[in-house]
């Protein structure tokens, strides 16, 4: 009898303990459910915040860019473009100036030629046409002759300063006595020559890269030797100094950077001498210049 009673007592105790354990399990379940609800609420709040951030970002992207942002964007684009060009076409310093290299970077146009070469040495030759001049109470006419000159110049932009030496050779043609009835004209002969030196100031203007205009004025001094013969009889032979002046106009062409050519007209003359009046000359000629 005792064992059944003991077993019944133990079974009751287990039932009562199980009944007491069930409420605690239910509380734990409720607590877990509450935690999940709180986590869902926090996730919902986070989703709302992310939605607000996304809306702000979309408004910022849709709004017009500021000037600073535009400049930064253009700078970045230029840098990226230059990087691409450098990768495709690297500059070869050896190929600069070679026209056959089509991929080379464009070369800047040359500066005007006159600004590169500051000095020049010019050689002139011209056919000279002496004008008639008074000799005492007579008049003397001359044949055409030769004019040569060498000039060294230095340039400052479009202006130049030069010093030259030259000479003339021409023949006496006629000896005229104006006071004789009918103006007696006698055939004459005799070689006349002179040497001179002058300082000139000039101006050059380039019409294009190669073609230019030039003009110059010069003053100096010289020495002349005159001879007059009539019927092989020498009636006058003398040498004396004179003041010299010249004016020149020309059109030039720059064939190379160090070489140019010029065609020119020049009017020059001797001042009064002891027995001769002022004597003028017309010249038409050409010049060749070396620039350095």
**Which pLDDT score, from 0 to 100, does residue 107 have?**
44
pLDDT at residue number 67:
53
What is residue 269's predicted lDDT score, i.e. its pLDDT?
97
Angstrom CA distances, 253 to 135, 155, 162, 203, 267, stand at: 42, 17, 19, 15, 22
pLDDT at 93: 46
* pLDDT per residue as tens, the chain (292 positions): 555 555 666 666 665 655 555 556 667 778 877 877 888 788 888 888 878 887 877 777 765 555 555 566 566 555 655 544 444 444 454 444 454 444 444 444 444 444 467 899 999 999 999 999 999 889 999 999 999 999 999 999 899 999 999 999 999 999 998 776 777 889 999 999 999 999 999 999 999 999 999 999 999 999 999 999 998 889 999 999 999 999 999 999 999 999 999 999 999 999 999 899 999 999 999 999 999 9
Cα→Cα distances 221→165, 218, 241, 280, 281, Å: 10, 10, 7, 14, 15
Give the burial class of 171: count Cβ atoms within 10 A of its Cβ; 0-12 exposed, 13-18 middle, 19 or more buried.
Answer: middle
Domains of the chain, residue spans:
116-291
Question: Is the separation of the CB atoms in 214 and 204 below 8 Å?
Answer: yes
The conformational region for residue 157 under phi > 0 = left, psi -120 to 50 = alpha, else beta, is: left
Q: Are the C-beta atoms of residues 120 and 291 closer than 8 Å to each other?
A: yes
List Cα–Cα distances, 184 to 226, 236, 276, in angstroms. Answer: 21, 18, 19
Q: Which DSSP category does 108 fall into?
A: P
Compute the distance between CA of residue 285 and CA of residue 153 in angstroms, rounded to an integer: 19
CATH level 2 (architecture), domain 116-291: Beta Barrel (2.40)
């Amino acid at each position: 009898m005792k064992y059944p009673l003991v077993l019944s007592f133990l079974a009751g105790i287990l039932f009562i303990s199980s009944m007491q354990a069930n409420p605690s399990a239910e509380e734990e379940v409720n607590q877990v459910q509450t935690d999940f609800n709180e986590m869902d609420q926090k996730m919902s709040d986070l989703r709302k915040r992310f939605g607000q951030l996304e809306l702000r970002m979309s408004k910022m992207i849709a709004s017009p860019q500021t000037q600073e942002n535009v400049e930064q964007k253009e700078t970045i684009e230029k840098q990226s473009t230059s990087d691409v060009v450098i990768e495709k076409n690297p500059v070869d310093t050896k190929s600069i100036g070679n026209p056959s290299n089509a991929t080379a970077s464009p070369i800047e146009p040359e500066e005007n030629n006159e600004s590169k070469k500051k000095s020049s040495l010019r050689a002139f030759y011209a056919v000279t046409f002496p004008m008639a001049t008074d000799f005492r109470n007579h008049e003397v006419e001359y044949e055409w002759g030769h004019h040569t000159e060498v000039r060294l110049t230095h340039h400052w932009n479009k202006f130049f300063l030069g010093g030259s030496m030259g000479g003339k050779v021409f023949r006496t043609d006629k000896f005229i006595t104006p006071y004789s009835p009918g103006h007696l004209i006698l055939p004459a002969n005799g070689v006349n020559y002179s040497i001179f030196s002058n300082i000139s100031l000039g101006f050059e203007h380039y019409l294009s890269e190669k073609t230019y205009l030039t003009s110059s004025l010069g003053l100096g001094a010289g020495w002349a030797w005159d001879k007059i013969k009539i019927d092989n009889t020498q009636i006058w032979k003398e040498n004396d100094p004179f003041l010299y002046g010249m004016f020149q106009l020309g059109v030039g062409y720059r064939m190379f950077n160090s070489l140019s050519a010029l065609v020119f007209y020049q009017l020059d003359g001797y001042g009064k001498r002891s027995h001769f009046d002022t004597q003028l000359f017309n010249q038409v000629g050409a010049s060749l210049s070396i620039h350095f």
